[in-house]
């Protein structure tokens, strides 16, 4: 059964400076199904963060529409829509409001008028999901960049939005925390039907998505499964398993001739 569409971006066009002709985004259209994990990749300056800011209503499109859960984003609807979509961006220092880690995670929940006991449970769950439960009483400004980022992610996870939009949110994380959060996202997607949209330069992260959107100079130039994208787009650096497959292939080893996921590579090596 087809899953409902949670996000629809239609013919989106945007310029930062209306006096200039060059668009930052030109006629970008795509849709995302509920419970899908979509990665958005592309070179620096290709317009990914601008797209994220438009989707949460921090910027206003010059042309085109954004529909979230069947509601068109506008000045009137953006506050309601923001409850459905949580954005985590790359600079955690700018995302703190509370004086302790738990206050900070509580912030969005307090806005929702949640009873205190429920709130405490949600904060604890969210901090555990990012491995920061022992830091609950610490001052957020004294955390490392990666720890701050994990708390910012906990703040969004606690709200359980329909869509989690991550803009390079894992950049500061150590590899172990990063892997842990990938598992958390997979869990939320599979068990709670949460939609994940992750803007990333990390090919291994993009390879985990159901679908990849490739941006170039403000245009959406390709979309497809990781297999489709990494086996046809030579401009993108492939994920680790695919790099290994290509190197083995170049050495004349009899590897399968198409893109392989990490699991497929392990299975093939252990056959």
Ligand X SMILES: Nc1ncnc2c1ncn2[C@@H]1O[C@H](COP(=O)(O)OP(=O)(O)OP(=O)(O)O)[C@@H](O)[C@H]1O
Q: Which of 3, 29, 45, 174 binds ligand X (CB under 6 A)?
A: 45
| Residues in 60-79 at the binding interface with ligand X, rule: CB under 6 A | none
Closest CB 196 distance from ligand X, rounded Å: 18
Residue 203 interacts with ligand X (CB under 6 A): yes or no = no
Pick between residue 2 and residue 18 the one whose CB is nearest to ligand X: 18
Own/partner pairs for 58-61, CB < 8 Å, 24+ apart?
A: 59/14, 61/12, 61/13, 61/14, 61/25
Residue 42 interacts with ligand X (CB under 6 A): yes or no = yes
- Of 45-53, 62-70, 78-86, 259-267, which part binds ligand X (CB under 6 A)? 45-53
Q: Which of 23, 50, 149, 198 binds ligand X (CB under 6 A)?
A: 50
Pick between residue 29 and residue 258 the one whose CB is nearest to ligand X: 29
Q: Which of 23, 24, 147, 149 binds ligand X (CB under 6 A)?
A: 24
Closest CB 64 distance from ligand X, rounded Å: 16
- Of 4-12, 44-52, 104-112, 219-227, which part binds ligand X (CB under 6 A)? 44-52
Pick between residue 50 and residue 177 the one whose CB is nearest to ligand X: 50
The alpha-carbon radius of gyration of the chain (Å, integer) is 20
Q: Which two tokens stand for residue 244?
A: 């290994």
Q: Which of 18, 20, 21, 44 binds ligand X (CB under 6 A)?
A: 44
Residue 102 interacts with ligand X (CB under 6 A): yes or no = no
**Cα separation, 63 vs 47, whole angstroms:** 15
Give me the DSSP letters along 61-128.
-SEEEEEETTEE--TTTHHHHHTTEEEE-S-GGGG---SSHHHHHHHHHHHTT--HHHHHHHHHHHHH
Pick between residue 20 and residue 251 the one whose CB is nearest to ligand X: 20
Closest CB 122 distance from ligand X, rounded Å: 31
CA atoms within 13 A on the CB side of 29: 5
- Of 46-54, 78-86, 203-211, 245-253, which part binds ligand X (CB under 6 A)? 46-54
**How far is CA 91 from its chain centroid?**
14
In terms of Cβ atoms closer than 10 Å to its own Cβ (0-12, 13-18, 19+), residue 102 is buried
Residue 82's CB: how many other CB atoms inside 10 A?
17
What residues make contact with ligand X under the rule CB under 6 A? 16, 24, 42, 44-50
């Amino acid at each position: 059964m087809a899953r409902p569409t949670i996000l629809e971006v239609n013919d989106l066009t945007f310029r930062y400076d209306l006096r200039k002709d060059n668009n930052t985004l030109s006629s970008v259209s795509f849709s995302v199904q509920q419970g899908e994990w979509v990665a958005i990749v592309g070179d620096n300056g290709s317009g990914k963060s601008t797209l994220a800011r438009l989707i949460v209503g921090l910027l206003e499109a010059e042309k085109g529409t954004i529909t979230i859960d069947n509601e068109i984003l506008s000045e009137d609807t953006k506050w309601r829509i923001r409850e459905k979509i949580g954005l985590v961006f790359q600079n955690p220092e700018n995302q703190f409001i509370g004086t302790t880690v738990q206050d900070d995670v509580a912030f969005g929940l307090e806005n929702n008028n949640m009873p205190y006991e429920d709130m405490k449970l949600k904060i604890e769950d969210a901090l555990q999901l990012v491995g920061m439960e022992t830091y609950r009483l610490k001052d957020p400004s004294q955390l490392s960049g990666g720890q701050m980022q994990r708390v910012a992610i906990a703040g969004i996870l606690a709200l359980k939005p329909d869509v989690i939009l991550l803009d390079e949110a894992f950049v500061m994380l150590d590899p172990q925390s990063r892997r842990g959060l990938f598992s958390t996202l997979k869990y939320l997607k599979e068990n709670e039907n949460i939609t994940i949209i992750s803007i990333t330069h990390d090919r291994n992260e993009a390879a985990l998505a159901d679908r990849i959107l490739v941006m170039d100079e403000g245009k959406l130039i390709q979309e497809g499964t990781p297999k489709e994208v990494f086996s046809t787009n030579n401009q993108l650096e492939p994920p680790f398993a695919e790099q290994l497959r290509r190197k083995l292939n170049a050495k004349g080893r009899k590897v399968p001739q198409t893109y392989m996921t990490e699991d497929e590579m392990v299975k093939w090596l252990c056959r």
